[in-house]
Every structure is written in C-alpha cells, then in structure tokens.
Amino acid sequence: MRNQPRMSRVKNRTTIEGKERLQKILARAGLSSRREAERLIQEGRVTVNGAVATLGARADPRRDKIKVDGKLIRQPSPLYYLFHKPKGLITSMHDPEGRPSLGDWLEPLGKRGRLFPVGRLDFNSSGLLLLTNDGELAQRLTHPRYGIKRTYRVKLNACPSEKELELLRKGIRLEDGITAPARVKIVQALKKNAWVEVEIHEGRYREVRRMFQALGYFVEKLMRVRFGPIRLGPLAPGQARLLLPAEIIALKKSVGM
C-alpha cells in the first residue's frame, strides 16, 4: 500500500512534464519569438483544444490541438543555416522601402516564411548570420543572460593606439551606458587605416560601430566572423549552408540546451 501513492506521484509528474508553456511551443514551431508568442496569446489569437488560451497556459504539442488565428500549428523539422550576409541587405524578411531584404535571399532555399535570423546585422555590415526555425534556441542565443560572444573584423580609417584600445578592454561610455569589457587587437596596420578584431558579448544596437565612433574613428567595413562556437569560414557573401551536426550540438550546449 505504501508504494501506491509513490506510483501516483510519478504518473502525475510524467503528465505534467509532457506539457510545455505555449509560448515555447509557438517559438519552436517557427511562428514567432517567445516574446511575440506572448503577445499572440494576450490578444486571444491562440486556442488549445478549442478554448482560448491565457498567458502561462501549458499544452502537450503531441496530443493537444493548438491553433493560431484558427490554423493548426505543426512542429516542423528543425533547420539551422549559416548565411554570409552581404553588405547592403536588410536583416528582415521584408523591407517597406523596397531595399534588398533577407526574405529575397531565403526564397531560393524554399523556406521563406519559416526561417528567421538569430539577431541582426545592420545594412552596411556583412558576415555571419545564423538562420533557423528553432525559436527556443534563437531566443537563448540572443538573450544577454547567456553572454554569447560575437567576433568582428573592423576596418578603421586610422590605426588606434594601444591606449585607446585599452579603453575598449575596460569598457567605454556610450549614450546607453558603459560597455562590457571587449577583447580587441590590431590585426593589420596599414598606412592610412587598420584592421582590428573585436570580441563582444552584449549585442547592443550597432555596438561595435559606436564604440569606435566614441574614440573618434570611422568604421569603413565591419564583418562578423564568429557567433558563439560557429565560425564564418570561407563561405562567400550571399551564400548559405546547413550547419553540421557537431555545430548544432555546440550551439545548443553553449546555451544549456
């Protein structure tokens, strides 16, 4: 008789563990980020087995019928791409001003509307951009809590001194506060300019450009060459490739998945 309550508790725990927060399920389905999923739920656009869901609700994606705007969602196979974003491309699926956008480049992959970028690179920057339909992984990779490091190669209009670089290593004041210490070194000093490598982990808006502008330098080129454990490598601008299984494992491990 003493074993019966214990067995019941195990059974109940299994039932509870089969359910997940709705925003996590929607994000993994590639429909939105977790924050956007919360908005969809608050707006009453999500139902579970015919009932309007509330924020904090849980569901089992294998058994429950989950709908967004009346359409049944399905859990797609996870996709993970490495894309070399060229300069002069908007990191969004569509641009109302008609400029080249990420959606135009994803169309040949046949996955338009399913893949989305992990973070952003501004219009004049190039380099490594991760694409996925795994909303949970994307949310963690861009969350400050996990401190994912990004490495950039930057071409400046002049060569900074070691004293100036030391300011970046300690943290420099910007209009939105002091930056976290950065790892920075001169890669190549030329006659009129220089290539510098910078590693940061905050991911603030246009952070690298603003860091050097605070020192009085103009950024002529900026290319991201590494995001967490993933390196850009020889991939040409405008080209994409699937991540290798080992790369996917490394990415998930970096954010505790």
Number of other residues whose CB lies within 10 A of the CB of residue 188: 12
Which residue, 152, 146, 170, is CA-closest to 227? 152
Catalytic residue among 60, 122, 134, 176: 122
> How far is residue 155 CA from its own chain's centroid?
24
SS3 state of residue 152: strand
Return phi, psi of residue 58, to 5°.
-120, 155
Contacts of 63 (CB under 8 A, 6+ apart): 18
Indicate if 176 belongs to the active site: no
DSSP 159: P
* Single-letter amino acid, residue 140: R
As annotated, the active-site residues are 122
